[in-house]
Chain A
């Protein structure tokens, strides 16, 4: 009876999930095919089946092919998918919590915190390594989380966190830390190589130097997305405002703290292997909202899938366009996502999405 009343039926959502999963698989395939050494899809499939212990007859590929696939391409592509999914999910969390269309995963301090810490690490710290994570990755992760903690504490007025003060504190901390980063660069003028490294890192690029990194980042991101699915009802309720959400039973103080922590964790994990990839976390939730509607229960998983696919594709373009030189992938998330976003926005132009 009520099916016709809910115009965005689960039927539509199921089709969207299916389509996005197909898109993700396709982009993963494109991602592993892309590179200096040509690997055929058949070879890739055979190597994967062989490694999975499924007998597929005689080995017909070079040992180097296997190394390239398993040590380089696959970690890179899977890393891209994880980062894209994490950023899109964090974008959904922050846009929903802050009720702000300009919110992105970095909005409450992560970008500047991570950026500042990474800059310091690149200019001043020795390249130590834990579980495949260098000092830059670890500093970025911790710096991002620390900045969020500072913002969250600053925004706490009389024992209560207001969303507006959270947003403003985030902007202020981002700005201050951003300039501190610039100051650090000026003071400790590193070599041209170091400066180039800082610049590239700030633009973002998938950098999985060691497949072990994925075994750390993977569970954090996949677990984080799964947990985030438990907050969709609260995010939906926030549409009627903070008081409205409380009135329908959302314990906003606690819930907001958890959503911020979750968003920061996802963003921090992403930043540790990718630097600051912009635009993706902002645009993907908007694009998906235009396609499947604003219900977070569907928006969140769909955004995760779409974010993963879009970043893997953007990364493939970034690697191949002027190969062997790699361009920062952050450039292409904006160049691919921007026009798509504008197209959908104008097509839906009659009814403004945010008011």
Chain B
């Protein structure tokens, strides 16, 4: 079996200095992978390399057996999608018009969207539960709704690989869970491969099968949650003290954050009682 995504000795450096060093990584079809790591550890860079938005300085990225650089953007956009990190939209597009942009790789030059395109967008917006907001201006939607419109845009591409860059950012707890449940459902029901950067360790544990831990541009751990969510590892990578125990009701690791050691418990302010 060829892996769906294969990074073979990939090196990448920004002119500013930050670099990913010799990344070897294989992701199989239907996996649900979280990419973890401190800010600036290379999570977004790794996603952009998988999508071909950045090109490796050395090494090669393969998608479904072929080198990424040999494929046309249009062909790739029909096979993989990335949920944008809520870009600011320059002018007043409706939610429908935004989701319809996911059909760009299927449009023929000089032609408008076909009924097939409209059906795909409708199905995608139904899946992400934003169809009723379709006629509303995107910029007037709540953060959670925008996120789901952008997810619909990506799904309208009919991808086999879905890349997400911190999909729970800016969302309240209930929307974080809803978004991840939806992604998980797409993964389980449609065999969609999911690779997502994410910060919350417990959400990783709850929703993902495989965690990849990055630190300063290297993969320092790769495996199921109970292998990666280890107190020593987390202390070294994030510089935080944690307790890891079992989830109260599920058979997964659960992280309890401890306050910084040398300062004791967080200072509590004394207040006058009125």
User: A residues touching B (Cβ–Cβ < 8 Å)?
Assistant: 1-2, 4-8, 99, 101, 158, 229-230, 233-234, 236-237, 239-241, 243-252, 289, 293-295, 297, 351-355
Contact = CB atoms under 8 A, between A and B. Distances in A.
B216 interface: no
Given A244-B84, A355-B90, A249 B77 contact: yes
A41 B119 CA distance: 51
Contacts of A99: 90
B119 A2 contact: yes
Contacts of B73: 246, 249-252
Given A7-B94, A233-B107, A240 B101 contact: yes
Interface residues of B, number: 47
Contact of A355 (B81, B89, B118, B135): B89
A226 to B, nearest CB: 9
Given A99-B90, A353-B91, A354-B90, A7 B135 contact: yes
A230 B108 CA distance: 9
B167 interface: no
Interface centre among B15, B101, B131 (most CB of A within 10 A): B101
A309 B121 CA distance: 37
Nearest to A294: B91
Nearest to B139: A355
Contacts of B157: 248
Contacts of B119: 2
A249 B104 contact: yes
B121 to A, nearest CB: 8
A240 B89 contact: yes
Contact of A240 (B48, B72, B98, B135): B98
A236 B72 CA distance: 19
Considering residues B75, B76, B77, B119, which has the most beta carbons from chain A within 10 angstroms of its beta carbon? Answer: B77
B93 A294 contact: yes
A2 B118 contact: yes
Contacts of A240: 84, 87, 89, 98, 101, 153
Interface string B110-145: 101001001101100000000100110101100000
Contacts of A252: 73
18 contacts: A5-B135, A7-B94, A233-B104, A239-B89, A239-B101, A241-B87, A246-B53, A246-B73, A248-B81, A249-B73, A249-B104, A289-B91, A293-B92, A351-B92, A351-B140, A352-B92, A354-B91, A355-B88
Contact of A249 (B74, B93, B97): B74
A154 to B, nearest CB: 18
B91 to A, nearest CB: 4
Contacts of B131: 5
A4 B132 CA distance: 11
Interface of B: 15, 48, 51-53, 72-78, 81-82, 84, 87-94, 96-98, 101-102, 104-105, 107, 109-110, 112, 115, 118-119, 121-122, 131, 134-135, 137, 139-140, 153, 157
Contacts of A5: 96, 118, 122, 131, 134-135
B256 to A, nearest CB: 37
Contacts of A233: 104, 107, 109
A266 B139 CA distance: 33
B84 A241 contact: yes
A351 B78 CA distance: 34
B112 A247 contact: no
A247 B72 contact: no
Given A237-B104, A243-B53, A229 B110 contact: yes
Contact of A230 (B97, B109, B112): B109
A102 to B, nearest CB: 12
Nearest to B107: A233
Given A233-B109, A294-B93, A248 B135 contact: no
A247 B91 contact: no
Nearest to A157: B15
B92 A250 contact: no
Contacts of A7: 94, 96, 135
Contacts of A236: 97, 101, 104
A14 B87 CA distance: 31
B90 A239 contact: yes
A327 to B, nearest CB: 34
A71 to B, nearest CB: 37
A293 B87 CA distance: 20
A286 to B, nearest CB: 10
A247 B137 contact: no
A244 B87 contact: yes
A163 to B, nearest CB: 12
Nearest to B99: A5
A245 B98 CA distance: 12
Contact of B110 (A230, A245, A251, A355): A230
Contacts of B51: 247
Contacts of B94: 7-8
A234 B139 CA distance: 21
Contacts of A229: 110
Contacts of B90: 99, 101, 239, 354-355
Given A230-B110, A249-B78, A294-B91, A6 B104 contact: no
Contact of B77 (A248, A295, A351, A354): A248
